[in-house]
Amino acid sequence: MFQAQEEFRNPPLQYRMKPMNHRWPRSHHKEFIEMLKEYGFGGVVTNVRQKDGFTANPQNLEEFRSIVEEMQENGLPYWIYDENGYPSGMGGGEVLKGHPELEATGLYMVRQVAYEPGCVSYRTGNHREEIIWAARYPLDNQKGYESLVRIREMTPVPFDRHQVACSLRGPEVLYVFCTKPAWEGSPCTHNVCSFDRYLNILDERAVRRFIDLCYEPIAGNIPNAYPGAEAVFTDEPSLMTFYMADNEVWPYALLPWSSKMPEAYEAEYGESLLPLLPWLFEGRQESYPVRIRFYNLVGKMIAKAYTGQLREWCQCHGTLISGHYFAEEMMADHVRSYGNFLEVQKAASYPGVDILACYPEGYFYNTAKYVQMAVRKNRTNGMMAEVCPFDHPEIFEKAHYDNMCAVMNLNFLAGVRKVNSYYETDYGEYKDGMFADFLPRDEEKFAQCRRYMDRCQAVRFNAYVGRLAYLLDGLYNDCDVFIYYGIENTQAKTVPRHDCQVGQAIETDSVTLPIIRAIYEAGHDFYYADRDDLAEAARALEQGEARISGCHVRYVIIPGTEVMYEESVEALLKLQRAGVRVLFIGRLPLYGSREESLYALTEEDFALHDLEEVLNILDEKEEDFSAKADKGMLLKAGYQDGEKRLYFLVNNSREEETVRYTYRGRKDGELLIPESGEILSAAASGTIRIPALRSVFLRF
């Protein structure tokens, strides 16, 4: 007991936060490492010097060797950041030099209509654009204002690389599909680091070149660097076929593309993609199945080419691939950034997430909760969170320390176990100002960096993070509420655009976000569950009860969705018959993921509910542990900790809160306080006070 109490009071380094230090002082490396420890940090995320050639410069590698050896000799854990700039994959612009064929590629569509017989033609704008498919399709315009293309009755049209011409009988449509480099208006130009063009993360050759330029030189020159690292941090690789700025409109609406896409699609689904390309850009419900298949394939290709390839390389070199991906907050971005975000996250050795809104009122619960699906499925010990107080800094800075403590509570509640951060510290107090003028990032780009924490705050904060991580190490949220991750509805509604808007693809987010916020803030923990999870739960019925990843399934909540996998509907029917509460909110699905799939579901199949009814149902469920705040917002999660139960209670309000709790049928337990490191006795029922934006644990 004493050892556990001492480790909780003073958690080991591996549980504490690591600062993101892209630069090191030119000298005094040992002193810098000692300073990090004295400030309470749990290590560092760092990299080869990014200027003067990055990994191609032997002097940079020699300096990094010295830093790595110093960290290892002094027992400082570290992660290796894999890029020179942002986003990962560019190698500071070196990856594409001499290799334009490896650049991110988009597919655009040209549509020409003839209502009477006539000739049409198209020529690409420059030598980097190339026609890959052209065909004419009959047009049915006999139903009033409708204009319907008969996709299955197309006729291919001859073309060369840069031009096509043909006669149309009318009414017909000529579709021409062309590839072009994808970079304008995308994340690789709308960021704080560079305007470089970007590699194609669908292309294994491109990612292999990134590895050869940015990973292999370190492994070849510093053999112990990767085996000694906890993980490698890769930073927001993504597709570059969507636009970022709301004041820009571009000539091309782009799909993500690779020359291997048609072959891969036919191998995966048994039919040719090329004649179906119009449905990826336009069309009504008849186009939904093709879009779902296409975007799932995109996710699988990225998972193999980028994340999977890095995972295999890192495993061979004694470490893990982690980091995080782009725009985790919204399903609409899950599709346009990756096709299928979950496929990409599952391929990582250790999933990760980025937290930008570092104050509780702006925190996106979805951000970590989506990634928690990969944690649960892969049984990793949680996820990494990169915590960056960049969103609305004017709010964050009003109470930066309290805001960051609140964010840590919310992160760990949702499955975070490792924290890396740009939450800056003032190093000027160390040894008469030895590092007073040092900034851990490029002075030219980040001269505005706020040095938020002083030395005392850093020590307190890192201990707080370490105590959360220590208590939750190896534990998974144990809850019985699952909310459906309806990515297929978003995929079905995603079409390329000429601007940054997402159109109908935002529908799933619009209905899901208010539901999960209301459920979570009412004190009910939940997991997201996808089609595969529901199928797992249905199969588990054969062994006696519905379970997903070992958790008993009592409630499945489905935010209103128009498109839903057939397998999900079938599983829900089985679960409902077995006594699981299946709660559709707002509407029942109309369409499946297969062509001609049309549901005729009624409330005899599934009852419809509104959000208030669902909250009442959850509030009335019987549980061994209950806790209510007198007036504020109490979030909570439960865990099986060996033979004991552990409960994490988070006061997510800006006032101290009185919490009344009851643990039925058990003996007295312990109250563990991350703020102070104290462990006190606790009755099976009682009252506790939790300071504003802080947390406590009860263990029975």
- Residue 393: both structure tokens together: 């800094």
Query: Which pLDDT band holds residue 404 (cuts at 50, 70, 90)?
Result: very high
Query: Which pLDDT band holds residue 660 (cuts at 50, 70, 90)?
Result: very high
Query: Which pLDDT band holds residue 675 (cuts at 50, 70, 90)?
Result: very high
Sign of CA dihedral 280, 286, 290, 296: positive
Rounded Cα distance between 582 and 608, Å, is 9
Please write the tens of the pLDDT for every residue from 614-655. 999 999 998 999 999 999 899 999 999 999 999 999 999 999
| CATH architecture of structural domain 625-699 | Sandwich (2.60)
Nearby residues of 544 by Cβ (< 8 Å), 6 or more positions away: none
Query: Which pLDDT band holds residue 328 (cuts at 50, 70, 90)?
Result: very high
Q: Comparing C-alpha atoms, which of 105, 528, 81 is closest to residue 324?
A: 81
Query: Which pLDDT band holds residue 92 (cuts at 50, 70, 90)?
Result: very high
Q: Which residue has the tokens 């930008």?
A: 356
Please write the tens of the pLDDT for every residue from 247-264. 999 999 999 999 999 999
Q: Comparing C-alpha atoms, which of 457, 368, 418, 348 is closest to residue 77?
A: 418
Q: What are phi and psi of 353, to 5 degrees?
A: -150, 155
**Residue 1: predicted pLDDT:** 43
Lowest mean pLDDT among 2-16, 328-342, 405-419: 2-16
SS3 per residue for 101-170: HHECEEEEEEEEEECCCEEEEEECCCCCCEEEEEEEEEEECCCCCCCEECHHHCEECCCCCCEEEEEECC
Please write the tens of the pLDDT for every residue from 434-491. 988 887 776 555 555 567 899 999 999 999 999 999 999 999 999 999 999 999 999 9
Q: What are phi and psi of 313, to 5 degrees?
A: -65, -45
Rounded Cα distance between 88 and 164, Å, is 38
* Mean pLDDT of all residues belonging to the chain: 95
288-302 helix and 261-269 helix, angle to the nearest 10 degrees: 110
Are 481-619 and 625-699 equal in CATH topology?
Answer: no
The C-alpha torsion from 334 through 338 and 342 to 346, rounded to 10°, is -150
Instruction: Say whether pLDDT at 49 is over 80.
Output: yes
- Residue 304: both structure tokens together: 């193999």
Instruction: Say whether pLDDT at 2 is over 90.
Output: no
The answer to whether residues 157 and 134 touch, using CB atoms and an 8 Å cutoff, is yes
Instruction: Say whether pLDDT at 492 is over 90.
Output: yes
The answer to whether residues 642 and 697 touch, using CB atoms and an 8 Å cutoff, is no
- Where exactly are the structural domains of the chain? 105-181, 481-619, 625-699
The answer to whether residues 34 and 437 touch, using CB atoms and an 8 Å cutoff, is no
| 481-619 classified as CATH 3.40.50 | yes
The answer to whether residues 334 and 342 touch, using CB atoms and an 8 Å cutoff, is yes
The answer to whether residues 69 and 35 touch, using CB atoms and an 8 Å cutoff, is no
The answer to whether residues 339 and 299 touch, using CB atoms and an 8 Å cutoff, is yes
For residue 527, the number of C-alpha atoms closer than 13 Å in the C-beta half-sphere is 26
Q: Comparing C-alpha atoms, which of 41, 124, 32 is closest to residue 77?
A: 41
Comparing 495 with 429, the larger pLDDT belongs to 495
Instruction: Output the CA angle 541-542-545, nearest 5 degrees.
Output: 35
The answer to whether residues 561 and 489 touch, using CB atoms and an 8 Å cutoff, is yes
What's 479's DSSP letter?
-
Query: Which pLDDT band holds residue 391 (cuts at 50, 70, 90)?
Result: very high
Q: Which residue has the tokens 């096709």?
A: 339
**Other Cβ atoms within 10 Å of 267 Cβ, number:** 10
Sheet of strand 527-529, all strands in order from the earlier edge strand to the far edge: 527-529, 481-484, 555-559, 581-585, 608-609
Using the CB atoms, write b or e for 89-104: b if 16+ within 10 Å.
bbbbebbbeeeeebbb
- Whether the link from the prior residue into 171 is cis, omega within 30° of 0, is yes
Query: Which pLDDT band holds residue 54 (cuts at 50, 70, 90)?
Result: very high
Cα-based distances in Å from 285 to 58, 280, 431, 494 = 57, 12, 67, 12
